[in-house]
Structure 1
C-alpha cells in the first residue's frame, strides 16, 4: 500500500509542477502586458502551488495561521488567502473575520506594492499607506509576511534562467 501512496504523491507533485509552469507563463505574460486585472489572483494561486510543491518555500508559512482578504476599492478584485497547517489556500470572494484586510486603491497599487522588489519592503508598505494606496486592518507583521512571500516568488520568476548544460557531442572525424 505504501507504493500506492508514493505513486499518488509523485503524481500530485508532477501535476503541481506542471500547474506552476503554466501559472508562471501566464503571470509573466500578465506582468509584461498593460493589463493587470488577473495579477492578484494569479500571484496568490502561484504562491499556493509553490507552497505545496517546494518544501523550502513551505518553511516560510509553517507555524503561521493567518487569513487575508485582498480587495480593491471598487471591489473589482476580491480574494481571500488562508495560511494554515503549512498550506496556503486561495478563494475568490471574502471570508468572515479575516486576520488582515487589505484594501488597495486599484490594481496598479497592488502591483507596485507586491511585484516590484525593493531593498526595504517595510518602507514601501508605509509609503503606500501614506500615499493612500493601501488601507489595512490587522497585524502589520502579517502584511509583511504576505509581501515577503510574493516578492520572493516574483524575484525567482524574474531571475534569469540557469544556462542549459552543454551538449556533449562526439568529435568530428579527423581529416586525412
Structure 2
C-alpha cells in the first residue's frame, strides 16, 4: 500500500468499505457490497444507484461496461425476485444491453420496471442514467421463475 497513489488508495478504500458492508450484513452479497448499491424500492419500479469510483473503471478511465451490465441485471433481477410468488425466485435467462454514453461522473442510477409478468417468465426493462441525467445505457432482461430449493446444509 505504500506504493499506491491517491487513485489506488481511493479504489482500495471503496473495496474495503464494500466488503465491510457485506460482513456487517448491510449487503446480502459481496458484489452488492463492493458496488455499494443504494436502493429505492417501489411496488412496480426498482431503482439502484452506485457511486462511481476508480475501481469500476476500464482502461479508458470510464465505468467498465460489465459494471453497467451488472447494475442493470441486479436492479432488474431484484425487481423480478420481489414479484415472484412465495417460494419462487427469478434467475436471468437473457440480458441485452445497449451502451449509449460513457459511464462518467459521480453515480450511475438504474431504473427497472416490469415489461411482462407471466407464470414462468418475466421480462424487465431498465434505463441507466449518469448523475448529469444523460442516459448511459438501456437494457432488457428475461427471467425464469424457479422454485427455491431448501438447502440441506451440505
Normalising by structure 2, report the TM-score: 0.31
Structure ranking higher in strand proportion: 2
Larger radius of gyration: 1
Which structure's residues are more often helix, by fraction? 1
Q: Comparing both chains, which one has the higher relative contact order based on Cα–Cα distances under 8 Å and sequence gaps of 6 or more?
A: 2
